[in-house]
Amino acid sequence: MQKSFLPYVIFAICILFLISCSQKDEIIIYELTQEQKNEAEAQIVAQKEPVSFDTREYPVEVLISKYSTGEFVVPKYQREFIWEKDKEKMSKFIESILLDLPIPYLFFADEGHEDGRLEIVDGTQRIRTLNAFKENKFKLVGLDVLYLLNGFKFNDLTESRQRRFLRKTLRSIELTEKASASVRRDLFARINTKPYDLSPMEIRKGVYSEDEFYKFLDECSQNPLFKSLCPIKDERRKRGESHELILRYFAYSDKYQQFVHSVEDFLDEYMKDKHDNGFDKEFMKAQFEQMLGFINQYFPNGFRKAANNNTVSRVRFDAMSVGATLALRENPDLVPKNIEDWFNSATFNEHTTSGSANNRLKVIGRIEYVRNKLLGI
């Protein structure tokens, strides 16, 4: 009988695969030493910060009252009422309470206000939804379980059900005034990381809202010329799109060649660097305004693809704003020629395709394409 070599072939393939992966650092096979375990344990102990907090349960009626009277404060870093545009999400939340389903904890923080008010760290959308429902500002829609309630406002419930609804309690965690600012920032970042639905810029806003660099981004976003050249739909603006674009502009202008793959990570690291090490506000502001003036002078549609567009793509903004800044660094008195020859070309359109946002070569390629064309290279 002929001997089968299949098992040996499979074994050889597996060995080659393991060798290949280990060379790429994708699989590392080793035994942890006791010293490594001790070092890891020491790191856990060293990095833990004491967290002072209380747990409470508030009836819905009390939550609404404290929010309405301003005892619960919505801080500057919190979002606009995003759920207001998603009545089905609001309705599902109300349905969950009516069905006695578990609701995630609300988070509050005592920021040391003289009047003892608490800031909402996480839960503003839920509290605002409760308040809006109580005030009959929307009808329930899209309910699957309590489908007979579709079309109901709060006042359409029986009086007994209204009272029971207002007596429902939601659990909360309150950070006391003893909790450090870093603990509050870290908490906000962690509880609003996936699967929660904050955008990356909203998370940065929560973490760095009191930071000088974030305040600078906010100041730049109010620039009238920026608003004119870079129209942004209201819903996207509320979720921090203006700040996102300006952050991308500064990050790429400073370090575009260091970009590797993830735009989100790249921007997070840049934001942290400015927080930790500071920044030259006057220089960056002058650079930003010089770039806006240049775009305004030589590009009739601003950052828009066409005059009738009411929004601007991120990759197009990146290419034009950063490319212009790099060109102006080489020639501050630059007067570009024949912009129409390349600006409306298929090549530029290919460079500014949204799907290439995280591709390093394409990020560098579109920025340098605009720079080189403006310089006549």
Burial 16-31 (b: 16+ CB within 10 A, else e): eeeeeeeeeeeeeeee
SS3 assignment, position 186:
helix
**Cα 138 to Cα 156: distance, rounded to the nearest angstrom:** 12
| Segment 16-62, tens digit of pLDDT | 444 444 444 444 446 888 888 888 888 877 766 666 677 889 999 99
**Cα 47 to Cα 237: distance, rounded to the nearest angstrom:** 36
pTM of the model: 0.57
| Segment 252-297, tens digit of pLDDT | 999 999 998 889 989 999 999 999 899 999 999 999 999 999 999 9
Query: Residue 138 carries which DSSP code?
Result: S
Structure-model confidence comparison of residues 108 and 225, the more confident one: 225
For residue 364, the one-letter residue type is I
pLDDT of 78: 59
SS3 assignment, position 107:
strand
What are the Cα distances from residue 13, in Å, to 3, 17, 30, 319?
A: 19, 6, 21, 45
**Cα 128 to Cα 131: distance, rounded to the nearest angstrom:** 5
| Segment 305-326, tens digit of pLDDT | 888 888 898 999 999 999 999 9
Phi and psi (nearest 5°) for 169?
A: -110, 145
pLDDT of 19: 40
| Segment 325-348, tens digit of pLDDT | 999 999 999 999 888 888 888 888
Residue recorded with tokens 């006391």: 176
Query: Residue 119 carries which DSSP code?
Result: E
